[in-house]
């Protein structure tokens, strides 16, 4: 990736066919500053000349190259760790390659791509709301909070929570009454913010949805309010596929993920 202040060197003998040479030299030094050419300097022996940047009609920065658009053609320069950077010339529909093969530039670009581990991103989360099922006031408060969520669903604020799915007794790893709100990454900040402001006396478990269910409910989880004990022995360490979210509603990234 080209960085501000990076120097790019082109060693060549000629300028593109059909383009008037703005420099009478064989080595050109380009410096990128704030996404524009600050100066372009060439030297030939003891002779030094500077390109008038007004000759450049446009400049485009890319992952590993930048393009200079002149009135009569385009100069594309590929950056690498060597001083004689690869260039490709395109003028009047004609292309030329100087010094190095384009494949080397492409392999250099591949090196800049994120690895699979770096590119991984959690796409879905659960927000579990807990309540004391034998405490009428606490239970009523939790269900009132749930009704507020349904109203926000109608406004498009949240994704749907399935009807009649709150737990009036311990279920799975959850040791007291609970219900869940599913959330995709695109809505995470909104849902997190809402619960942070409105969860009241209720504890909220926030955990990701991956194939590692024990990790998701422990090391990868977060709490609002006082943590509630979980029985992690009720969960598998690993599942072959990410749990499908609300298949009857057609929700969840895992519903469309053919690689899992």
What are the residue boundaries of the structural domains of the chain, listed by start?
A: 7-113, 119-255
Higher-pLDDT residue of 184 and 51 is 184
- Does residue 31 surpass a pLDDT of 50? no
Report the pLDDT value the prediction gives residue 136, as an integer from 0 to 100: 97
Q: Are 18 and 71 in contact (CB under 8 A)?
A: no
Orientation of helix 188-198 relative to helix 136-154, angle to 10°: 150
Report the pLDDT value the prediction gives residue 100, as an integer from 0 to 100: 35
Q: Please give the average per-residue pLDDT across 32-60, as a whole number.
A: 42
Q: Is CATH 3.30.70.1240 the right assignment for the domain spanning 119-255?
A: yes
Report the pLDDT value the prediction gives residue 80, as an integer from 0 to 100: 43
Its pTM stands at 0.54
pLDDT, tens only, 182-230? 888 888 999 999 999 999 999 999 999 988 999 999 999 999 999 999 9
Name the pLDDT band for 117 (thresholds 50, 70, 90): low
The structure tokens listed for 120 are 């991984």
Report the pLDDT value the prediction gives residue 223, as an integer from 0 to 100: 98
- Does residue 259 surpass a pLDDT of 80? no
Higher-pLDDT residue of 249 and 46 is 249
Report the pLDDT value the prediction gives residue 187, as an integer from 0 to 100: 87
What is the Cα gyration radius of the chain?
30
Rounded to an integer, what is the distance from CA 98 to the centroid of its chain?
A: 35
Q: Please give the average per-residue pLDDT across 122-151, as a whole number.
A: 95
Q: Are 114 and 173 in contact (CB under 8 A)?
A: no
Please provide the average confidence, as pLDDT, over all residues in the chain: 67
Report the pLDDT value the prediction gives residue 246, as an integer from 0 to 100: 57
């Amino acid at each position: 990736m080209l960085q501000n202040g990076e120097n790019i060197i082109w060693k060549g003998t000629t300028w593109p066919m059909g383009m008037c040479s703005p420099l009478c030299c064989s080595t050109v030094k380009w410096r990128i500053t704030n996404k524009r050419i600050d100066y372009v300097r060439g030297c030939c022996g003891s002779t030094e000349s500077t390109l008038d940047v007004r000759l450049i009609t446009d400049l485009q920065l890319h992952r590993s190259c930048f393009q200079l658009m002149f009135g009569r053609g385009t100069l594309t320069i590929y950056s690498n760790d060597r001083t004689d950077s690869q260039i490709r010339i395109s003028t009047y529909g004609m292309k030329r390659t100087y010094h190095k093969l384009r494949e080397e530039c492409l392999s250099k670009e591949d090196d800049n791509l994120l690895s699979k581990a770096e590119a991984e991103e959690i796409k879905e989360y659960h927000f579990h709301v807990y309540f004391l099922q034998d405490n009428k006031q606490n239970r009523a408060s939790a269900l009132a909070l749930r009704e507020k969520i349904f109203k926000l669903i109608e406004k498009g604020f949240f994704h749907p929570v399935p009807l009649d799915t709150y737990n009036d007794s311990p279920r799975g790893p959850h040791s007291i009454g609970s219900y869940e709100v599913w959330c995709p990454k695109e809505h995470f900040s909104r849902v997190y913010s809402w619960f942070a402001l409105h969860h009241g006396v209720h504890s909220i478990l926030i955990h990701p949805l991956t194939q590692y269910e024990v990790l998701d409910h422990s090391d990868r989880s977060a709490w609002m309010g006082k943590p509630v004990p979980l029985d992690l022995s009720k969960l598998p360490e690993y599942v072959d596929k990410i749990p499908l979210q609300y298949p009857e509603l057609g929700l969840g990234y895992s519903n469309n993920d053919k690689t899992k």
